Amino acid sequence: MGFFKDFKDDFSQAVNELMPGEDNLEDGAANEDLVVNTLENEVDVESELSKLDGLLEQVTSQTAKQQTSVQDQPVPSVPQPKPAGETKIEQPVIPENHVKNTQEERKMADNITPVVNETKPVSDEVSVITEGTIIKGDIVSNGSLDIRGNVQGDIGCNGKLVVTGTVTGNSNSSEFFADAAKIEGEVVSTGTVKIGLGSVIIGNVTSSSAVIAGAIKGDIDVQGPVVVDTSAVVMGNIKSRSVQINNGAVIEGFCSQCYSDVDVESLFASKNNE
C-alpha cells in the first residue's frame, strides 16, 4: 500500500507541473475580466470631439500653407500668338545685281524698238524666217535677218534686215531693204533704206539715205539724199539733205532740205540788205 501511495503522490505532482495551476487560471480570468471591464467604462464624448477639432484645425492650416506656397510660385509665361494683322513678314534681301538686271529688262520692255548694239562686231550669219512661219514676240540678232514669214513684234539686228513678208512692229537695223513687203511700224536704220516696188509701209522712216519705189504713209527723216522713184507714193513730209523726185512719183506733203549745207536764210538776208 505504501508503494501505491507514493506512486499516486508522484503522479499528482507530475500532473500539476505539466498543467497550469489554479492560481494561473485565476490570474487569466482576472485579466479577461480586466479587459472586459475597461470596455464597459463610460467614454467622455466631449473630450474626444475636442481632440478631433484640434486635429481638423491642424489639417486645415497645413492645406492653406500649401496653397499659399503654390500661389507664390511664378507662373511660366506662355507665348501668345500674334494677331494676323500684326504678323511681320521679313522681306527677302535682293542682290543689287538682280535689281540692276531687272531695271534693264524693264527699260528694254519699255523701248518701242530694240536698241542695236553698235559696239559689237556684226556677225556674218543670216537668220532666215521662212514663209508660213509666224513669230509672236520681239527678235534681236547680232547678224542679219531675212524675214519671209510673219513677225508680230519689234525687230532689232546689227546687220542687214531684209523683209519680203509681213512685219507688225518697229524695226531697228544697220541697213533695211523691203521688197513686196507689208510693214506696219516705224523703220529706223543707221544706213540705207530701200523700199522696193510693191512694198507698203505704214509708219515713219528714219535713215542716213533712202531710195523709195513703194508706198509710204508717214514722215521721212533722212540725214542724206532721198530718191523718190517713178512708182513711189509718199503720204507725209520729207526732211532730207537733198531730194530727187522722178517723173510719175506722187508726194502728198512738204519737202524740206533742212540738212543741206546751203544757208538759205543768209542768202535772203543779204538780198534784203541790198
pLDDT given at position 274? 56
Q: Which of 82-91, 122-131, 239-248 comes out lowest in average pLDDT? A: 82-91
Q: Quick one: which of 129, 128, 157, 162 has its CA closest to 143? A: 157
The answer, yes or no, to whether residue 182 has pLDDT greater than 90, is yes
In terms of pTM, does the model score above 0.85? Answer: no
The answer, yes or no, to whether residue 103 has pLDDT greater than 60, is no
Q: Name the grid cell of 128.
A: 532666215
pLDDT given at position 266? 79
The answer, yes or no, to whether residue 33 has pLDDT greater than 50, is no
pLDDT given at position 239? 96
Q: Which residues are registered as beta bridge partners of 213?
A: none
Average pLDDT over residues 153-163: 95
pLDDT given at position 262? 83
Contact between residue 143 and residue 159 where contact means Cβ atoms under 8 Å apart: yes
The C-alpha angle with vertex 148 and arms to 230 and 169, in degrees rounded to 5, equals 80
The answer, yes or no, to whether residue 229 has pLDDT greater than 90, is yes
pLDDT given at position 265? 78
Rounded to the nearest integer, the mean pLDDT of the chain is 76
pLDDT given at position 261? 86
The larger pLDDT score, comparing residue 33 to residue 133, is at 133
Which sign, positive or negative, has the C-alpha torsion 215, 219, 223, 224?
Answer: positive
Distance CA 111, CA 153 (A): 12
Residue tagged 505539466 (cell numbers): 18
Residue 34: left (phi > 0), alpha (psi -120 to 50), or beta?
alpha
191 contacts: CB under 8 Å, gap ≥ 6: 174, 175, 176, 207, 208, 209
The answer, yes or no, to whether residue 200 has pLDDT greater than 50, is yes
Quote the percentage of the chain above a pLDDT of 70.
54
Distance CA 169, CA 176 (A): 14
The larger pLDDT score, comparing residue 193 to residue 39, is at 193
Strand-pair category, 209-212 with 139-141: unpaired
